[in-house]
Amino acid sequence: MKVLTAAQMREVDRRTIEAGMPGIILMENAGLRVVEFLIERFSPLREHRIVVFCGKGNNGGDGLVIARQLDVRGLAGTLDVVLGAEPEDLKGDAAANYRMLIAAGREVHRELPAGRRDPTIVIDAVLGTGLEGPATGRALDIIEQIDDMRLDGAKVVAVDIPSGLPSDSGAALGKHVTADFTVTFTAPKPVHVLPLNCRLCGELMVKQIGSPWELYEGDDSIWLSVPESWEFAHFVGVRSLDVHKGDLGHVLVVGGSRGKTGAPAMTGLAALRAGAGLVTVASAESAIPVIATHAMEFMTEPLPETETGGISLGAFDYGRFASVLERKTMLAVGPGIGTHPDTAAFVRRVFREAEQPAVIDADGLNALAGIEDWTAAGPRILTPHPGEMARLTGLSTEEVQADRVGVARAFAMQKQVTLVLKGYRTVIAFPNGEVIVNPSGTPALATGGTGDILTGMIAGLCAQSPGYRDQAVVAAVWLHGRAGELGAEEWGEECLIATDLLKYLPEAMEECAEALDEL
C-alpha cells in the first residue's frame, strides 16, 4: 500500500481536480467516509453526544461536511460544532461547506456551550497535513480541550491525521491530539506508519475519495506492507502437484560456534518451515554434533575452527568452502558465528566471494562494520537491529532511531544492498531507494532468537522463489511479525519464545492466502 507525503498528497489532489473531479466533491467524499466509519463503529449514533472541532483549512472543511451529514441525517443524539477560526477566515471549499452547514440550520459555536463538555465522541478536524510548526493560538486551545475530553472517556476520531502531528513524521513539534481512531484518505501518510508517531493515530482506516489509483501507486518512495498485496502471492497457497524439493531451493546456513549452537539451528528450522526444499547447516566442527540434534531434517557440514570454537578462515583452504557452496541457492550467514578475528575475516570473504544471494545477520553484520569495499559477487540482504545498524553506519543508536527510513534508504542505496532495519515498524530499504514499512509485530518479539528465525524465513522464501527475492523479503518480515502477534495472543507477550513463531507461521500464511482470495 502506497504511503504519500504531504507534498505527494497535494499533487495527487491537484491532478485529480485537474482530471475533472471538483475539489468540493473530494471534500464531500472525505466527510462521507468519516460518517460511514462512525455509523459502522459506533451505531446507534443516536446514543452518542458528538462534538466536531473544525479548523480553518481543508481539514476543517472535511469536519464541516461531517457535521452537516450527521445533522441532516439525524444521526447524532446531540451534536455540537465548534469552529476554531472566524468564518471570514475560511477559504474556498471550506467556506462553501460552512455556508451549507449554516443554510441547513445548524449553529456553529466559537466555544463549546457550557454544560456540553462531556461528549462521547470527538471529531478532530482542526489541523491537517499542511502543518509546518507547532500548533498555536486557538488551534492549541482546542487540542488541549480534546485531550481533556479523551481523558474523561470520549473517543477521539481524527480526520486525516491527529491535529498537531507532522504529516511526514519526525518528532512531534509541540502539543498534539492523541486519537483512538484516524480516518485518512487515498493512502496512509508517513505519520501513520512510522514508529515515532503512529501510535498516536490509534486504529487507522484508509478510505478512498475518488483519486485514480494510477496517480499514486506508481511512485517508488515509501510503501506499507499489507498481506493482500501481490508480493505475498508467490509464497502462500496451494503448490503445484508435481513440485519436488529440488524446485524449492537449497539454503546453506553458515553460523554457530562453541556455546552458540542454537542460533544456526533455529535459522535452519525457520528456512524449512518457510518452505525451502533443502537446508544444510555449516558450522565449526565441534559445534556440528550439537546442531544436528535440533532437527533430523537438515544436513550438516563441519568446517575448520579457531581455538575458541568458531569457524576459521582456513575453511577456504584447498577449496573446502567452495565445495560446500556447490548447488546451494541461498545463504544465511551470521547466526551464532561469533566475533573471533579469524571468523570475521571468513565472513568478509563469504560476503565478497559467494555468488549466491545471502542474508547477513548477527555477528555476520559486526564482521562487516567498518569495511570500505562493499563489492559482492551476489545480492546481499542485511538484517540489523538498531545497535548493529549504528555500528555499520558509525551513527549512534539514537540517530538511527530518529530517522529510520532516511538512514535505511541511504545505506541501501550507497552500499547497493537490501536492508531490513528491525524494530518497531521494521523498515525494508532496497538499492533503488524504495522503502517498505512493515506494520506487523509485537513486543513479544523482544526475546533472544527471533532474529535468527527471521533470517531463516527470509532465506527459505528467497530460496524457493529466486525470481521474487524482494517480494520474499517483504513477505518474510510481515509473516514473522504476524506469527509473533498470533503467538502473543495465546502465550502473552512475556512468555513467547523464538521457536514458538514456527508454530504460528502456518496460521499467518493462511491469513495471507485468505486475503489474496478475497481480492
By residue count, the chain amounts to 519
Q: How many CB atoms lie within 10 A of CB 414?
A: 11
Beta bridge partners of 302: 283
Q: Which pLDDT score is estimated for 131?
A: 81
Whole-angstrom Cα distance, residue 96 to residue 107?
Answer: 15
Domain regions of the chain by residue span: 2-217, 230-517
210-224, 245-259, 417-431 — which is least confidently predicted?
210-224
191-205, 304-318, 374-388, 479-493 — which is least confidently predicted?
191-205
C-alpha grid cell, residue 67: 457535521
* Rounded alpha-carbon distances, angstroms, from residue 420 to 41, 223, 365, 438, 458: 36, 14, 12, 10, 10
Residue 200 corresponds to which amino acid? L
Whole-angstrom Cα distance, residue 199 to residue 193?
Answer: 9
Dihedral of CA atoms 98, 101, 105, 110 in degrees, nearest 10, equals -50
Q: Classify 124 as helix, strand or coil.
A: strand
DSSP 66: H
Q: What is the mean pLDDT of residues 46-52?
A: 95
Which uninterrupted H or E stretch holds 435? strand 435-437
Answer for the pair 126, 163: CB distance below 8 angstroms, yes or no.
Answer: yes
Dihedral of CA atoms 417, 336, 509, 279 in degrees, nearest 10, equals 90
Answer for the pair 105, 82: CB distance below 8 angstroms, yes or no.
Answer: no
On whether the 2-217 domain is CATH 3.40.190.120, my answer is no
150-208, pLDDT tens digit by residue?
999 999 999 999 999 998 876 677 899 999 999 999 999 989 988 778 889 999 999 99
pLDDT(233) > 90: no
Answer for the pair 478, 427: CB distance below 8 angstroms, yes or no.
Answer: no
Q: Report domain 230-517's class.
A: alpha beta
Whole-angstrom Cα distance, residue 214 to residue 368?
Answer: 41
147-161, 169-183, 390-404, 473-487 — which is least confidently predicted?
169-183
Q: How many CB atoms lie within 10 A of CB 135?
A: 23
303-320, pLDDT tens digit by residue?
999 999 999 999 999 889
Answer for the pair 364, 391: CB distance below 8 angstroms, yes or no.
Answer: no
CA-nearest of 253, 302, 305, 304 to 274 is: 253
* Rounded alpha-carbon distances, angstroms, from residue 148 to 51, 340, 372: 13, 57, 54
DSSP 311: B
DSSP string for residues in 167-233: TT-SS--S-----SEEEEESS--HHHHSTTTGGGG-EEEEE--S--GGGTTT--SEEE--TTSGGGT
Q: Which pLDDT score is estimated for 226?
A: 79
Q: Which pLDDT score is estimated for 216?
A: 62
Angle between helices 450-464 and 469-491 (to 10 degrees): 140
Which uninterrupted H or E stretch holds 82? strand 78-83
Per-residue pLDDT band at 408 (split at 50, 70, 90): very high
Q: What percent of the chain lies above the pLDDT cut of 70?
A: 97
Residues contacting residue 240 through CB under 8 Å, at least 6 positions apart: none
Whole-angstrom Cα distance, residue 26 to residue 21?
Answer: 7
Per the listing, cell 449554516 goes with: 102
Q: What is the mean pLDDT of residues 323-351?
A: 97
How would you class 208 by CB atoms within 10 Å of its CB: exposed for 0-12, middle for 13-18, buried for 19 or more? exposed
Whole-angstrom Cα distance, residue 117 to residue 452?
Answer: 52
Answer for the pair 180, 153: CB distance below 8 angstroms, yes or no.
Answer: no
Phi, psi of 80, deg, nearest 5: -125, 140
Per-residue pLDDT band at 146 (split at 50, 70, 90): very high
Per the listing, cell 449553529 goes with: 107
